[in-house]
Amino acid sequence: MMSAIGVSEVSVISVVALIALLSASEILSASKLWNRQLSASLNMAIIPLCLAFLAIVVYRVAEIL
């Protein structure tokens, strides 16, 4: 199964962005800057990236099988 050009680059970028946002969320949750608005803003970015990560994993597993 051949992958489209650019899929691996987008996969890497999205995983790095997910890791960065999850790290920021954890670090900021321990600070006094943490509030509901910041939490909601980060979650709006993290949730779609988690879904994209799940899609990447499913795609890679299907590619192997």
In a domain, 2, yes or no: no
CA distance 25 to 47: 12
Residue type, 51: L
In a domain, 15, yes or no: yes
Question: pLDDT truncated to tens, each residue of the chain (65 aa)?
Answer: 555 556 678 888 999 999 999 999 999 999 888 898 989 999 999 999 999 999 989 988 998 88
In a domain, 38, yes or no: yes
The confidence score (pLDDT) of residue 65 equals 87
Domain encompassing residue 52: 7-64
CA distance 51 to 57: 10
The confidence score (pLDDT) of residue 18 equals 95
The confidence score (pLDDT) of residue 46 equals 96
The confidence score (pLDDT) of residue 53 equals 92
Residue 18 in tokens: 């997910």
Grouping H, G, I as helix, E, B as strand and the rest as coil, residue 65 is coil
Total domains present in the chain? 1
CA distance 8 to 37: 33
In a domain, 1, yes or no: no
Model pTM score: 0.78
| Residue located via tokens 């006094």 | 32
